[in-house]
Amino acid sequence: MGSAPNDAADWSNRWPALIDVVNRKDRMLAGVLRDCRPVEASPGRLVVGAPFGFHEEQLRNRLPKLLESVAEFAGAPTTVDILFVGAGKQDPAATQGAPEQPPQAPPPDTTQAVLDAFPGSRITGSRLRDHAHD
């Protein structure tokens, strides 16, 4: 595969190639890895940022396959750590010294608001649609 990636930027540039290596061993793991990003790296070490709890759980459950794939890709044994970065969570280094944001109120309970507006109504089914990619 050539020389091993040295830092997070190098891993980022070569991320699609790593996903190809992983895909040959575990398609589910490759799918999860597509949404993740390298957040920190040094020679022999990679920290993968998981944007959601599901991704973090799947990476941890499939860590042996991930380690095997990363070592094959890097051409050397590489430790892999999984870090939950949360959707929209910023890089800790970027927020260092920044004032802490006050907690935001939870989103309103839309379902309960509709039931309150229409007394006697009941929910018989629901379907969640994500139009973000439409």
- What are the tokens at 95? 């927020």
The answer to whether residues 56 and 82 touch, using CB atoms and an 8 Å cutoff, is: yes
What 3-state DSSP class applies to 31? helix
Distance of CA 130 to the CA centre of its chain: 18
For 5-42, give one letter per residue: b (16+ CB within 10 A) or e: beebeebeebbeebbebbbeebeebbebbeebbbbbbe
Q: Indicate the range of 69-73, 80-84, 127-131 predicted with least confidence.
A: 127-131
Fold for 8-84, please state it: GMP Synthetase; Chain A, domain 3 (3.30.300)
Confidence at residue 91, expressed as pLDDT on a 0 to 100 scale? 47
Residue spans per domain, the chain: 8-84
- CA dist 84 and 103 (Å) reads 19
Q: How confident is the model at residue 30 (pLDDT cuts 50, 70, 90)?
A: very high
* Helix, strand, coil percentages for the chain (3-state, nearest 5): 45, 15, 45
Radius of gyration over alpha carbons of the chain, in Å? Answer: 20
Q: How confident is the model at residue 95 (pLDDT cuts 50, 70, 90)?
A: very low
Query: Tens digit of pLDDT for each residue in 99-109?
Result: 555 565 555 67
Determine how many CB atoms are found less than 10 A away from the CB of residue 57: 14
- CA-CA-CA-CA torsion sign (104, 132, 91, 85): positive
